[in-house]
A and B are shown apart, each in its own frame.
Chain A
């Protein structure tokens, strides 16, 4: 299921955010070898201090399996500030109805292959549907997303091919990065839903969102009972 965490509710979701930053460290730091800052196994950059919106996929146990970060293109965002090479010195797009999505990733270590609920393919589609619907419901018409060629192939295979690209594909660590354009239309969302066989609402219910919050985090409590994950919890509660 998908949960959206932004500047208004992030104080209630320390655990989910911490797991997300750890996932980003594994994906962008280790797997893709991008030049990112990793501290204590967490990848956090300057844009995370700007109150972005995070669209996060959690599995049935409440663990983070996918995430993406969204920012408005009218203000500071990655293509305007740090991804100069992709734009080759050109000015970035800036529009009220265009969002930028960055740090799109899924946990390929814990998820399996195939198309079941616990597969990479399902998690990717669910996250795509969640982020496109969140944007569309906010009056956004298009998304410019910074992705690597592997994610680009995954999008194409999921019947969600970008309709165009901005700038040029640029070497970045072990792989390269590119800026792709996606429309937030019902047609695209329906194609994705048909491909993944997802017909239900992908967003968590208010009740589930409450369960996932730090105050009533049953997943964290049960792990603490068995002495698992105590180190992570201790560092979280110490803040």
Chain B
């Protein structure tokens, strides 16, 4: 079955609105502005629904499942924060709480980004634009790798001491 045959985004994308910000504005700053603009949309679904045309319901459901997968990742990170606190009781307080808070913060970021990305995808599908790309998966995997290495080191050093 090919549901991509009728994909709205298979059409050539219309010209993208160019950002009006200066070329030297830091990228992070642009992200924050974009994020704040999207937060309004979380609470005003009518705005999203009025734009463009309603995509095939299967695309919307696929987008919803992706959102849920990211939400599960966020919940797993939060669970990991609890687990570090509970199952590594021999660690020094600072390391234990630091690692737990890092995982919890990653969970919060991940869940906020999940709803933001879902909204952007939904809007792009309604407008018939390309789906938004994101650096977040790469960023998250780097953070998880760093935390994992830190845990290995901490556990080894903790057992030595």
**Is the pairing of A and B real?**
no
Which residues of B are interface residues toward A (Cβ below 8 A)? none
